[in-house]
Structure 1
Amino acid sequence: MNPPKTTNELMQRCQALAGLTLGQLARQLGAAVPANLKKDKGWAGQLIEQALGASSASKAEPDFPHLGIELKTLPIDQHGKPLESTYVCVAPLTGLTQQRWQDSWVCQKLSHVLWLPLLAERSIPVAERVIGTGFLWQPDAREMQLLQQDWEELMDLITLGGIDQIRGAHGQVLQLRPKAANSRALTSAYGTSGQPIKALPRGFYLKTAFTQQVLRKVFC
Structure 2
Amino acid sequence: MKPIIPPTHLDELLERANMLAGISLAQIAGQRGMLVPKDLKRDKGWVGQLIEMELGAIAGSKPEQDFLHLGVELKTIPIDAQGRPLETTYVCVAPLTNIEGLTWQDSLVCHKLQRVLWIPVEGERHLPIGERRVGTAILWEPDQEELRLLQQDWEEIMELIALGKVATLTARHGEVLQLRPKAANSKALTQSIAEDGSLQLINPRGFYLKTAFTAMILNKAFC
Instruction: Please give the range of the TM-score, normalised by the shorter of the 2 chains.
Output: over 0.9
1:60 CA drift (Å): 2.0
Alpha-carbon distance in 2 for matches of 1:81, 1:142 = 21
Q: Does 1:217 align with 2:220?
A: yes
1:156 CA drift (Å): 0.4
Q: Does 1:72 align with 2:41?
A: no
1:135 CA drift (Å): 1.3
Alpha-carbon distance in 1 for matches of 2:183, 2:64 = 21
Q: Does 1:200 align with 2:196?
A: no
Q: Does 1:34 align with 2:33?
A: no
Query: What is the identity, as a one-letter code, of the residue corresponding to 2:60?
Result: A
Count of aligned pairs: 220
* Structure 2: gaps spanning 5 or more residues: none
- State the identity %: 57
Alignment of 1:14-53 (within 5 A): 14-53=17-56
Query: What is the identity, as a one-letter code, of the residue corresponding to 2:61?
Result: S
Query: What is the identity, as a one-letter code, of the residue corresponding to 2:87?
Result: E
SS at match of 2:50: helix
SS at match of 2:41: coil
Partner of 2:182: 179
* Structure 1: gaps spanning 5 or more residues: none
Partner of 1:62: 65
Alignment of 1:98-117 (within 5 A): 98-117=101-120
Alpha-carbon distance in 1 for matches of 2:19, 2:217 = 22
Alpha-carbon distance in 1 for matches of 2:187, 2:75 = 28
CA RMSD of aligned residues (A): 0.6
Query: What is the identity, as a one-letter code, of the residue corresponding to 2:67?
Result: F
Alpha-carbon distance in 2 for matches of 1:60, 1:103 = 13
Partner of 1:148: 151
Query: What is the identity, as a one-letter code, of the residue corresponding to 2:24?
Result: T
Partner of 2:95: 92
1:92 CA drift (Å): 0.5
Query: What is the identity, as a one-letter code, of the residue corresponding to 1:201?
Result: P
Alignment of 1:1-16 (within 5 A): 1-16=4-19
Alpha-carbon distance in 2 for matches of 1:87, 1:188 = 21
Alpha-carbon distance in 2 for matches of 1:15, 1:73 = 14
Q: Does 1:164 align with 2:167?
A: yes
1:43 CA drift (Å): 0.1
Alpha-carbon distance in 2 for matches of 1:57, 1:154 = 26
